[in-house]
Chain A
Amino acid sequence: MRFSNRMCSNWVNSTIRYNTFRNTSQTIVEHNTTVTQDTSSSETAAVCQRITYHSILPTSRPNSLRGVRFAALHETLLTLSTLPEEHPYYLGVAAATRASNYLGILANNLDIDPPRLFTEDGEAAVFTWDLGKVKRLLTVDAEEEDLMDIDRATMVRCDHTLPSDDDLRLGALLNELGSQHLNFAKSLSDTDA
């Protein structure tokens, strides 16, 4: 029995448990690497794997929950930029456009959850992710972006240093967001197993 990543309709971070596979050999696609597991032993093999179906073609399923959440974020950013300037939710057009572009880059290049959003003073959009004990904040304004983590329990703030060169910065940011996210996903699946 072969499992391809397209068969999994759940969105990123969904954990799928396959409890009883006997005499089967399955292929699980995970983070661009193919792992073949032979579960032909007579004992019941409890297989618990995280399958992230969009690791190869992230944009191929626009109607997935993940796709819908990202689309809603884009739509919200657009709406915020049309609010009157005095409105507490207002976000400047330049910042909203740049934030929207960034969101597209993240959604299409990384196995990353759709973030939540808040605006800072109409100048910047702040995307947030809950990574267990830590909350991650990515601030995108009209010119720059910036990454920091805040620990929930101790409230200690940790700033990530990004290169000042534009091209290098984007690469570094993707690296930072992507690798840490994968580490986080891995630690989760370890605890599941």
Chain B
Amino acid sequence: MLNSGVFCRSALHPRCGKNGIFDEAQLLHFSDVHRDGQFYALSIASRFLLRDEEGAHGYGHRTAAVANRGIRERTGEDPTPESRVHYLGFYDLDYVAVRKIDLEFYDAGFSRVPEHGEAAHFQIEWRLKARQGEALAKDKALRKDRSAARTKLSFLLRGPFKVASASCEVDNFELPTLPRTDAA
């Protein structure tokens, strides 16, 4: 991976929560892959492989479809209006900046994981460091570590690149302009 690499993170949002309620870190939801707190991953996509903005939006729409299908499979029901996620746009992340974020209890990694037919799909991965025994006992410290790292990642988001055809169901939700210039 070149240091000049740029990745995008799709902003998938359910209908709940109006403007200004959610922090941008909410868009960076790391999923607990094995449900044991050992391995967390965040899906991103390579802007290079997606070619242009249209390609990134196309990827975002497909991700939303996969997420809603996932909800349907796990719950056995169609997503409710509150739980259905909508694709609103994406933010850019610079590879070299992301690599600089360090965690106390996790090893951060970066890998290409094509899935659901998406060749451009990458993951930011956090694996619990080897001294798990003592670390697991301090579960709250691990969570704090992750919250802090998510917040640091959110400082690096650039955007938004809004999709033109966002669903009218979420038209009351505006993606914030990042990085926040008023707070700097």
Contacts and interface: CB of A to CB of B under 8 A. Distances in A.
B21 interface: yes
Contact of B147 (A72, A84, A139): A139
A148 B143 CA distance: 13
A88 B152 CA distance: 19
Q: How large is the interface on A (under 10, 10 to 19, 20 to 34, 35 or more residues)?
A: 35 or more
A96 interface: no
Determine chain B's interface SS by DSSP, over half rule. Answer: mixed
Given A86-B74, A152-B183, A139 B25 contact: no
Contact of B17 (A79, A86, A132): A79
Given A124-B143, A126-B25, A148 B148 contact: yes
Given A121-B143, A124-B143, A130-B180, A83 B14 contact: yes
B116 interface: no
B184 A117 contact: no
Contact of A69 (B20, B25, B82, B85): B20
B100 to A, nearest CB: 8
Given A88-B29, A135-B183, A137-B148, A76 B17 contact: yes
Interface string B41-53: 0000000000000
B82 A82 contact: yes
B138 interface: no
A128 B31 contact: no
B146 interface: yes
A86 B29 contact: no
A183 B74 CA distance: 48
Interface string B18-37: 10111101100101100000
A153 B152 CA distance: 10
Given A89-B26, A118-B22, A123-B143, A133 B184 contact: yes
Given A88-B67, A118-B150, 6 more contacts: A72-B17, A76-B21, A118-B23, A119-B26, A126-B147, A128-B23
Across the A-B interface, give the 3 residue pairs with the lowest CB-CB distance, nearest first. Answer: A118-B26, A116-B23, A130-B183
Interface of A: 69, 72-73, 76, 79-80, 82-84, 86-89, 114, 116-121, 123-124, 126, 128, 130, 132-133, 135, 137, 139, 141, 144, 146, 148, 150, 152-153, 155, 157, 159
Interface of B: 12, 14, 16-18, 20-23, 25-26, 29, 31-32, 67, 70-71, 74-75, 82-83, 85, 101, 140, 143-144, 146-148, 150-152, 155, 180, 182-184
